[in-house]
Amino acid sequence: MGRKMLLRKFNTFSCLMKEKPTNLKGKKHSSQQWIVRQLKDPYVEKAKQHDYRCRSAFKLLEINSKHHILQPGMNVIDCGAAPGSWTQVAARLVNADQKMLDKPVGSVIGIDKLPIYPIEGATLLANMDFTKKGTQDLIKQYLNERFVDVVLSDMAPNAIGMKDADHENIIKLAYSVFKFALEVSSYESTLVIKVWDGSMSPALEKDLELFYKVVKIARPQATRDESSEKFIIAKGFKGLKTQAKV
């Protein structure tokens, strides 16, 4: 199709590498801090043990444990999928990997600007910008007129260190996912969006309430203490009969 994509179903493998403190020489202070934090982080080690590509898998697992959003047979879109831990979780829980022989088989489409190594049971659109119309049209092609049960977004812009600007940029991403979800979601579907806390979050939550029956906020235990991230969970898509402009 003239685009760089990874579109195959293969066995996954862990991309997590453990770097020892002896490798710190010559690295910038911020890099040293990151490495030390990784080594001390129990979720990093836990991710390796469970063959997840990064610690963020446990955020989605906790969200699902509390809100029951992913079930076998569901169709899922994962926006901002790289390196792939949320896609891994989703593929297992909706049985896209077909390992639950007595359960219906679901599907997962993962999208990201970055490369993504193959994940068993998932269709991956790597090196692609979700916010572009061409990418969204391609996702619809792969859906092949199927409606989506869950739209996930762990997307975040590259932070520039200015809190208000960073917040505004992630809210823009959130709205792009929100609008796309309105186009492809099934009745009673779920939308999960990551945002950074700030002044524009309440307006987004109110807009979501126009289209979803329940809107809740989650901050999973795997979220680092210093992070301002939170996840907006919108459940029970009402459909577009009373559509308002977003």
The residue assigned the tokens 């524009």 is 200
Q: Exactly one of 40, 140, 163, 194 is catalytic; which is it?
A: 194
Q: How far apart are CA 149 and CA 129, in angstroms?
A: 22
Quick one: how far is CA 77 from the chain centroid?
Answer: 8
149 within 8 A of 187, measured Cβ to Cβ:
no
Would you call 38 exposed, middle or buried from its count of C-beta atoms within 10 A (0-12, 13-18, 19+)? middle
φ, ψ (nearest 5 deg) of residue 229:
-70, 150
Q: CA 121, 125, 128 angle in degrees (round to 5)?
A: 160
Active site residue 20: no
For 176-206, letters b (16+ CB in 10 Å) and e give: bbbebbbebbeeebbbbbbbbeeebbeebee
The residues carrying an active-site annotation are 194
